């Protein structure tokens, strides 16, 4: 069975120089990951789908790890955009929705989310742009916290520490869900997410002095 039988997804080598192969490679990687998971992502498959050699990638990325780094960067960009969009310049209610949106992003893009964390990128020095984009997403959370502190809805602890704690909680919920450790039933998941956000908000609320703790 010759290579002609494989139906490349885009028009194959119409020009010798590809328009923007770097972008095309990244898009194809995102598509594959979303559709079949990271474990299905091979340089051979990507090349085949784009009608280029499997080594063409090395002109645009240092190696596979660098490609996955770019995938992760894109993921943080998407996630940040979504969080900012949901938060607006809102209050407690929007904060809750932001948490829900975070977990929903992970559920909608489990394999992509796992690439963003999951240690696919963790040996060697982290890509600079990835670090920056990850921090930008985190900053969206910090900003929301700071606003809620100003409106006296959240206790006046170090906002960074608060943000780390909240991030850990939504990250934990997300990971347990996409790893299949929790119920797969949609309604039960929604219940858990809502419950978690409730308990979380009680934990960080600037309430009246308590008699215990």
**Residues binding DNA (CB under 7 A):** 13, 16-18, 21, 41-45, 47, 51-56, 58-60, 63-65
- In the complex, the smallest distance separating the C-beta of residue 64 from DNA, rounded to whole angstroms, is 4
Among all chains, which residue has been given the structure tokens 């308990």?
Answer: 199
Quick one: what does residue 212 bind among DNA, its own copies, none, with the CB cut-off 5 to 8 Å set by partner type? Answer: its own copies
- Look at residues 179, 170, 158, 176 and name the one whose alpha carbon lies nearest to residue 201: 170
Residues making contact with its own copies (CB under 8 A): 39, 114, 117-119, 122-123, 126, 134, 153, 157, 161-162, 164-165, 167-173, 175-176, 178-182, 191-192, 195-196, 198-205, 207-208, 210-213
- In the complex, the smallest distance separating the C-beta of residue 112 from DNA, rounded to whole angstroms, is 17
Residue 15 or 186: which CB sits closer to DNA?
15
Residue 47 or 110: which CB sits closer to its own copies?
110
Strand partners, 22: none
Residues 71 and 128 sit within 8 Å (Cβ to Cβ): no
Local structure of 122: helix, strand or coil: coil
Which residues have a Cβ under 8 Å from the Cβ of 47 and sit 6 or more positions away? 53, 54, 55, 56, 57
Q: At what angle do helices 64-87 and 21-36 cross, to 10 degrees?
A: 70
Largest CA distance in the chain: 76
Distances (CA, A) of 209 to 99, 155, 212: 26, 11, 9
Cα–Cα distance measured from residue 186 to residue 191, given in angstroms and rounded to the nearest whole number: 9
Residue 52 or 144: which CB sits closer to DNA?
52
Residue 63 or 157: which CB sits closer to DNA?
63
- In the complex, the smallest distance separating the C-beta of residue 34 from DNA, rounded to whole angstroms, is 17
Quick one: what does residue 5 bind among DNA, its own copies, none, with the CB cut-off 5 to 8 Å set by partner type? Answer: none
Quick one: what does residue 90 bind among its own copies, DNA, none, with the CB cut-off 5 to 8 Å set by partner type? Answer: none
């Amino acid at each position: 069975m010759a290579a002609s039988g494989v139906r490349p997804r885009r028009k194959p080598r119409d020009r010798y120089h590809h328009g923007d192969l770097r972008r095309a490679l990244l898009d194809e990687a995102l598509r594959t990951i979303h559709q079949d998971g990271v474990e299905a992502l091979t340089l051979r498959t990507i090349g085949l789908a784009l009608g280029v050699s499997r080594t063409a990638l090395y002109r645009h990325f240092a190696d596979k790890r660098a490609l996955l780094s770019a995938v992760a960067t894109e993921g943080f960009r998407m996630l940040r955009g979504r969080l900012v969009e949901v938060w607006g310049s809102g209050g407690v209610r929007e904060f809750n929705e932001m948490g829900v949106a975070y977990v929903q992003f992970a559920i909608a893009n489990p394999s992509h989310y796992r690439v963003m964390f999951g240690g696919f990128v963790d040996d060697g020095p982290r890509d600079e742009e990835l670090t920056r984009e990850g921090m930008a997403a985190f900053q969206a959370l910090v900003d929301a916290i700071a606003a809620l502190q100003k409106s006296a809805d959240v206790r006046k602890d170090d906002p960074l520490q608060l943000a780390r704690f909240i991030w850990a909680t939504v990250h934990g919920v997300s990971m347990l869900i996409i790893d299949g450790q929790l119920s797969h039933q949609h309604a039960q998941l929604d219940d858990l997410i809502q419950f978690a956000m409730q308990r979380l908000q009680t934990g960080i609320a600037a309430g009246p002095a308590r008699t215990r703790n």
